[in-house]
Chain A
């Protein structure tokens, strides 16, 4: 075999692999079709299916409520849009606080640690109630007592604690040799952080932060507890009016339309990063 000249067509190995690939594809298709068929045939055979269908997958109810849900979803997107950049900035500040080494700045470090411990330890809803009703209750005049302001602040405080931890782990993941290389060139600690460590750290944590921001997009709905009528609340109103859960399914579909592509993209980024490192 080794004596032969290089064959012009596909090699034996390539032919074998192509055959295996075809077989795997066939098996995957068949098994997927089987599972789908089982779901499509068996679930409607359940005795309560008609009731469930009417209550959760009700076409007329969906058609009637979907435009309203979509409209309410704009509120979610808006809240997300003003929270996300503020979270990014605050998280970066907190993460840097936790990295300061100068003894005079120890209070900053302590503050950073306390901040992340406290806000990661609290349920989001509790903080939204506490800040969203509590702070305005102190007697702030309008418009400074708006639930949009204080509810958003609650989200920003909590999420920046999580994002700060992710950024910090990114900073710590940069090998010590990078700091050494920068220091050996006479660079200050601040410049080393700004030009050498942070750009790499932030790039490394993009996928993890994507996941956090996807979670944020969902948690925006919790602001409805203190008044804003966003998609979750709007769905609840429809549900209550029609005694039907289909509007929730509609809201879920709208959420998924946004979060599935975002999650996929985050996964893609994560995979690309692994390939690069590997």
Chain B
């Protein structure tokens, strides 16, 4: 079992038996969703690999799509009673009524965000990873903090990568920030930045598919981070559904469903060296 799932199951272990959890979760959600008997899940527009495959969450393919169906099932919604909607990050956090029950698009849980919205218990703990190109590696870049400091850095502005970059690497030159992942890779392709920080699954995907000669140079494992990057499902502040979702996540972590989904959809990252 992966360290991620281990941590979650430890959390679940504080609660009674698994079967009981699932049962509680199932009865819990009644009357608390937007539409009775249906769970409305939001994802990004577009939703990216490997979180959602082919931008089609209805298929249940991809890590977050699969987790969403697992959570729904644990709360007593079968596959036909899950509907999908799309929101940007801004729509997800804007004040006023939401048009989703839960919103899953790699939202990192932070105390500041929790002032404004609710998050479920984490469904994934992400390592941060350094995406770069073969040319930069050939020029001598290594997976050490000293070496990384001197690179020109970029990150996607809307992610927690931007502050993590400042905290853990503290680059010599102020980093460039971009609107989305595609712009980050465009800047790297244009040789305007040397490296960018992403969550590990995204970095692996970008290196393999989006970037010519892309390399994941190193990772900062979640369990070693002081303040690990954990993804939670976002809900309206004070959502009545939150305890139900938390119970559901505890249940699927406990019975191994979550670990199974991770094994299926998230690439094995043991080959990526840890940044020293």
Contacts and interface: CB of A to CB of B under 8 A. Distances in A.
A209 interface: no
A9 to B, nearest CB: 61
Contacts, number: 101
Interface string A125-140: 0000000010011011
B187 A226 contact: yes
Interface in A228-248: 228-229, 233, 236-237, 239-245
B16 interface: no
A48 interface: yes
Contact of A226 (B110, B116, B174, B178): B178
Contacts of B190: 133, 136-137, 145
A185 interface: no
A243 B162 contact: no
B96 interface: yes
Given A233-B157, A242-B116, A226 B183 contact: yes
A228 B157 CA distance: 11
A147 B115 contact: no
A228 B187 CA distance: 11
A227 interface: yes
Interface residues of A, number: 32
A97 to B, nearest CB: 31
Contacts of B158: 236-237, 240
Contacts of A229: 174-177
Interface in B81-110: 89-90, 93-96, 110
Contact of A147 (B174, B175, B189, B192): B192
Given A137-B189, A146-B192, A229-B177, A241 B163 contact: yes
Interface in B161-186: 162-163, 174-179, 183, 186
B27 interface: no
A147 B154 CA distance: 12
B96 A51 contact: yes
B240 interface: no
Contacts of A51: 95-96, 237
Interface in A48-70: 48, 51-52, 54-56
A227 B116 contact: no
Nearest to A55: B95
Given A136-B191, A145-B192, A227-B176, A243 B115 contact: yes
Contacts of A136: 190-192
Contact of A243 (B93, B183, B186, B193): B93
**Contact size range, B:** 20 to 34
A228 B192 contact: no
Contacts of A244: 93, 112, 115-116
A22 interface: no
Given A136-B190, A136-B192, A240 B159 contact: yes
A52 B187 CA distance: 36
Looking at B162, B163, B190, the one whose CB has the most chain A CB atoms below 10 A away is B190
A241 B160 contact: yes
A241 B157 CA distance: 10
Interface string B187-223: 1011111000000000000000000000000000000
Given A240-B89, A243-B112, A233 B159 contact: no
A225 interface: yes
A135 B174 CA distance: 22
Contacts of B177: 224, 227, 229, 233, 236-237
29 contacts: A51-B95, A51-B96, A51-B237, A52-B95, A54-B116, A55-B116, A56-B95, A133-B183, A137-B186, A137-B190, A145-B190, A224-B157, A225-B178, A225-B179, A226-B183, A227-B154, A227-B176, A227-B178, A227-B193, A236-B157, A236-B158, A237-B157, A241-B160, A241-B163, A242-B113, A242-B115, A243-B113, A243-B116, A245-B90
